[in-house]
Structure 1
Amino acid sequence: MEDDEEEAPQRREFNKKEIADFQDAFKLFDRDQDGLVNYKEFSTLMKAFGQKYEDLDLSDMFTEADEADSGLINFEQFVKILEYYYREEFSLEDLLNSFKAFDKDNLGYLDRADFKEIMMDYGDKMTEGEFVDFMATADPSNEGIIRYEALANAIYSFLIE
């Protein structure tokens, strides 16, 4: 007999470093620092992780996690979503979307100061020296802006070699 129902996603365990990275990103999108994100912030956060879902799927995930039906989820609820739906696929588009998630005005670039905060305070944190070295690639003309499409292409080319 054939089962027409979709299989439930496999639950994934994350290590401490991954959890810490997720928490750093969560805090970045938790603008008022109350430990909660709304649907819009959640959607942007998932896109920052390079996750590709239809808006309807994201809405379903968020609604399922929002047990209190408050329109907000906390970090623990966010991790539960990731445990079931996070995918480790990596593409140039994923990398580009990670940068775009921080480009709130869709300008195609990030301000150096904002980029520095992201690179030094979240995820795999850079030191001041590492940031200065990285900026030679990220902003070769020293304009104070990071044109992230060119940067994403350079990083992706390096990573797949």
Structure 2
Amino acid sequence: MFFSDAGARPRTWEASPSEHKKWVEVFKACDEDNKGYLSREDFKVAVVMLFGYKPSKIEADAVMSSVNPNTSGLTLEEFLNIIRKKKEAQLYRNEIRHIFTAFDRHYRGYLTLEDFQKAFKQVAPKLPERITLEVFR
């Protein structure tokens, strides 16, 4: 799903020109009748093409509820904005997973206080131990 503005990280991500071009090509391929917009079903096919999964009813409802009422579907601009946010959220989750894996040195799937303390000693050796304890809790 998409991340909310409240959970958004301050950094932003920009698509490369080739990635942007790919998104436009997917939009055009899914807009078979050259309507200038993607219907709900067209959008689902586009997500499958770009992300490899079929969006849930809830996700499709959320996207389609954001559509301008004067149009019958997602315009190219709306589609590109949604896909950019989706890609940004995907990259953010991958970054979090990577950081967690670095902390989880024994590959247990969870962090102990000891794991946490060792990691912080390596990346922030001058950080007071009480801060590490507060962050862990």
TM, length-normalised to structure 1: 0.44
- Could you list the runs of 5+ residues in structure 1 that have no partner in the other structure? 90-161
Kept in 2: contact 1:26–1:75 (CA 8 A) = yes
Equivalent-residue separation in structure 1 for 2:16 and 2:28 (angstroms)? 18
CA distance in 2, matches of 1:20, 1:37: 17
Correspondence for 2:13:
12
Counterpart residue number, 1:105? none
Distance in structure 2 (CA, Å) of the matches to 1:54 and 1:69: 25
Question: Residue in 2 aligned with 1:21?
Answer: 22
Give the superposed CA RMSD: 2.8
Structure 2 Cα separation of the partners of residues 73 and 6 of structure 1: 21
Residues in 2 aligned to 1:8 and 1:58: alpha-carbon distance in whole angstroms: 21
Distance in 2 separating the partners of 1:6 and 1:27: 29
Give me the TM-score of the superposition, normalised by structure 2: 0.51
The structure that is strand-richer by fraction is 1
Aligned to 2:35, the other structure's residue is in SS state coil
Identity %: 13
Instruction: Please state which structure has a larger fraction of its residues in helix.
Output: 2
- Describe how 1:1-161 pairs up with structure 2 within 5 A: 7-9=6-8, 12-52=13-53, 53-64=55-66, 66-68=67-69, 70-86=71-87, 87=90
C-alpha spacing 1:70/1:17, structure 2 compared with 1 (3 Å): same
Q: Which runs of 5+ in 2 are unaligned?
A: 94-137
Comparing 71-80 and 7-16, the one that deviates more: 7-16
Give the structure 2 partner of residue 130 of structure 1. none
Q: Deviations over 1:72-117 (max 9, x none)?
A: 111110011012112369xxxxxxxxxxxxxxxxxxxxxxxxxxxx
- Which structure has more relative contact order (CA 8 Å, sep 6+)? It is 1
Counterpart of 1:35 in 2: which secondary structure?
Answer: coil
Partners of 1:67 and 1:8 in 2: how far apart? 25
